[in-house]
């Protein structure tokens, strides 16, 4: 059974795209068939997998407004078993053009339906806001994976995000479940990071992934070369942490 996982947090800068790209790549390298969907008009996931977002003839936008079929907008990447539906700045237009459409929150779900069974996992990289694009991702998903930066304000905003997910379960997608909370940008040298981890584990217990993603220079460098960190520097701490996360993810 294919699982669709929305990687969501309405706070920016918590590692959503980094997690979407690198977890997708790590799972693809185990032989799983993966589709990554870039739902953010900033299109960072598109760039991080080696595509030129400015040169795209077709993108997620064209699929959502029904100007192209699902298979027409899927692109291959340099990683075997990993494909992507890319994005660019045109995706901003979706919010405006579909505002009065009665089924506007279900467009992505309908778009993915014809190809869903082609993949083991489909990852949706969401924008850092509760926009129509994020609502589409949460409506289409079976699970939500929440990256949480190891800082106080990120933890403070998590309750708000969980309340949002609860409202979406009631109004749009009753079967939506939380896959887990992933602690990112962890710095073992600071007491603050350790305290955030302790607080998160106290309040959310089994929802927290055991694997934590450290602050790592290679993780920051890899997107500028159009690569996931796993192909950019497999031996780096960032790469090894996402390989460990992929194993834990499959166990869950």
pLDDT tens digits, 175-195: 999 999 999 988 776 776 777
pLDDT at 125: 97
| Per-residue confidence (pLDDT) for residue 116, from 0 to 100 | 97
Cα 194-178-79 angle, rounded to 5 deg: 85
**Count: domains in the chain:** 1
**What secondary structure letter does DSSP report for 124?**
E
- pLDDT for position 142: 97
**Using one digit for the tens of pLDDT, what is the confidence trace for 52-89?**
999 999 999 999 999 999 999 999 999 999 999 999 99
The sign of the dihedral angle between the CA atoms of 111, 60, 4, 98 is negative
Give the residue numbers spanning the domain of 74.
Answer: 3-251
Q: Give me the helices (H) in the chain, please.
A: 16-28, 44-48, 60-64, 92-97, 107-112, 132-140, 152-171, 191-204, 217-221, 229-232, 237-251
Instruction: Tell me the pLDDT tens digit for each residue of 18-53.
Output: 999 999 999 999 999 999 999 999 999 999 999 999
143 φ, ψ (degrees, to nearest 5): -135, 155
Are the C-beta atoms of 230 and 244 separated by less than 8 Å? no
Residues contacting 167, CB < 8 A, separation 6+? none
Question: Mean pLDDT throughout 206-225?
Answer: 91
* Full DSSP string of 125-143: E--SS--HHHHHHHHH-SE
Looking at the predicted structure, is the pLDDT value of residue 152 above 70? Answer: no
pLDDT of residue 209: 94
Q: What CATH number does the domain containing 130 carry? A: 3.40.50.300
């Amino acid at each position: 059974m294919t699982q669709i996982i929305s990687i969501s947090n309405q706070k920016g800068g918590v590692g959503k795209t980094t997690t979407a790209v690198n977890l997708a790549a790590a799972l693809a390298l185990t032989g799983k068939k993966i589709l990554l969907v870039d739902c953010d008009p900033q299109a960072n996931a598109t760039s991080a997998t080696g595509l030129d977002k400015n040169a795209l003839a077709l993108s997620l936008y064209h699929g959502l407004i029904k100007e192209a079929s699902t298979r027409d907008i899927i692109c291959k990447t340099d990683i075997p078993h990993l494909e992507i539906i890319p994005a660019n700045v045109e995706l901003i237009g979706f919010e405006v053009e579909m505002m009065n459409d009665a089924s506007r929150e279900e467009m992505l779900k309908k778009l993915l339906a014809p190809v869903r069974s082609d993949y083991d996992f489909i990852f949706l990289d969401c924008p850092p806001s509760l926009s129509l694009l994020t609502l589409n991702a949460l409506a289409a998903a079976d699970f939500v994976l929440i990256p949480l930066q190891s800082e106080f304000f990120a933890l403070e905003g998590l309750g708000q995000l969980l309340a949002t997910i609860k409202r979406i379960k009631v109004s749009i997608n009753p079967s939506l479940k939380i896959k887990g909370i992933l602690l990112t940008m962890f710095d073992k040298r600071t007491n603050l990071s350790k305290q955030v981890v302790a607080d998160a584990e106290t309040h959310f217990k089994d929802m927290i992934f055991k694997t934590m993603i450290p602050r790592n220079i290679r993780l920051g460098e890899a997107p500028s070369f159009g690569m996931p960190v796993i192909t950019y520097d497999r031996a780096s701490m960032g790469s090894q942490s996402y390989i460990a996360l992929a194993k834990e993810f499959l166990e869950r």
